[in-house]
Each structure stands twice: as C-alpha cells, then as structure tokens.
Amino acid sequence: MCGRYGLTVDTSKLQERFETSNTLPDTQPRYNIAPTQELPVIVRTSPNSMMLMQWGLIPSWSKEPKVSYSTINARAENLLKSSVYKKPFLSQRCLVPASGFFEWQQTSDGKQPYYIHLQDTDVFAFAGLYDIWRDKKGHELHSYTIITTTPNDLVAAIHNRMPIILRRDDEDAWLDHDADQDRLLSLLTPYPAEEMSAYRVSTWVNSPSNDTPQVLEPLEQVETQRRG
C-alpha cells in the first residue's frame, strides 16, 4: 500500500522535469499528502500536460463521486481483472510526481512510520491510472490511483507492498497511447532496493494536517532535538 507521500518541489520544477506544456500556479511543495486531496498528475495530450486530480480513483460508471479507500492504490497483478482499473490501464495511464513515500512498520510498540525515497533525485514518478467521472450536468471530476506491487528487499522489511516507481527512461512508454500491453506490464516491477533509502520518522506524520518539512526529519534527529 501507498497511503501517504510527499512532493517537495514546486510546479515550475515539475514542468521542466516532465516536459509539460503547462504549469499549475500557486502549487507549493507538499510533505504529507493524503487521499482525497488534489495533486499534480502528468498525462499525455501531445505534448504532456499537468493537471490537478483527486487521489482515490472514482470510476466513470460510479453512481456518486465518493472516494473508496481501496481505490487509492491498484494492485499490479489485478489490473486486467478489475472492472475499476482495466479500462484506465488500457487507455488512461498517468505519471504521479513524488519525492518519497511513507510506510508503517508493525512493531511491538505500535506502528513505526518510515520515509522512503530514491537516493539520486528529489522527484520521480509513480505509475498511475486515472478516470473521469461526470455528473448529470456534465461537470467532470478527475481522479487517480497509484499502482502497487510486491516490495523489494528494502521495503519488505517495513511493509508487504510498495508503489511502482518508473525509471525515467520508461515514463514515455507508460504514457504512450499505442504502447503494447505486454510492454506496459513489464514496467510494473519493484524499483531496485540498492537505489533507494529509508529512515524512521516521527508519528507526527500520522496526521495529514501536519504538512510541514518536520515530518521528513529522521526520528533520531527529532529525539536529539527534544533532549536538547
């Protein structure tokens, strides 16, 4: 599962990084992103464009625009079996920009949060899917989900699932409307553990209202500050 992530760069950097034809004004860095919130997503519209979408996919055929917690993530192994995700997988794929994500490890003292990120960059892309829900007046609601898979060795010590992080060279293929299905499925693998890092953070991150840089501070650093 990926139930919380961060995007610590502003949209001007996203425009350059993902070569989009537009930017999103007044979108600031986010440190503790939670489901139902609106975040930047990259879609292919010749060229790429950046849109705000709601996290938690609402199928186009849904009777009401209600986010189900189960639709914030889509299991890679079930995409073609799911009535919710099959159509988006075949025709409505997107990139979800991120700087890192949080997972919680079950311990004897409760759940310990970790921040997990890539070692060599402050922004990358999750493999995502999106859908468009329309009300009776034709108003549209765009929403997305993040695809997950089995964890690599680093994440496995913390949690039993991890989000799909795409290699930069594979992002274009993921957005390609004409991409072969087998090629797309081949991209849905765990990111190499040796290129990632993880560290414990404070349970301050447990509340989405705590959307500040402090949630990214290593727990050891926070404890030292408190003792001081």
What amino acid positions are annotated as catalytic residues?
Answer: 2, 103
User: Could you give the CA distance from residue 196 to residue 155 in angstroms, rounded to a whole number?
Assistant: 9
Whole-number Cα distances in Å, 189 to 14, 83, 144, 154, 225: 24, 22, 20, 14, 39
227/65 Cα distance (integer angstroms): 47
- Identify the bridge partners of residue 148 per DSSP, sorted by sequence position: 75, 163
Contacts of residues 74-79 at CB distance under 8 Å and 24 or more positions apart, as own/partner, are: 74/129, 74/145, 74/146, 74/147, 74/148, 75/147, 75/148, 75/149, 75/161, 76/147, 76/148, 76/149, 76/164, 76/185, 76/188, 77/149, 79/129, 79/147, 79/188
Burial 20-36, CB ≥16 within 10 A → b, else e = beebbeebeebbbbbbe
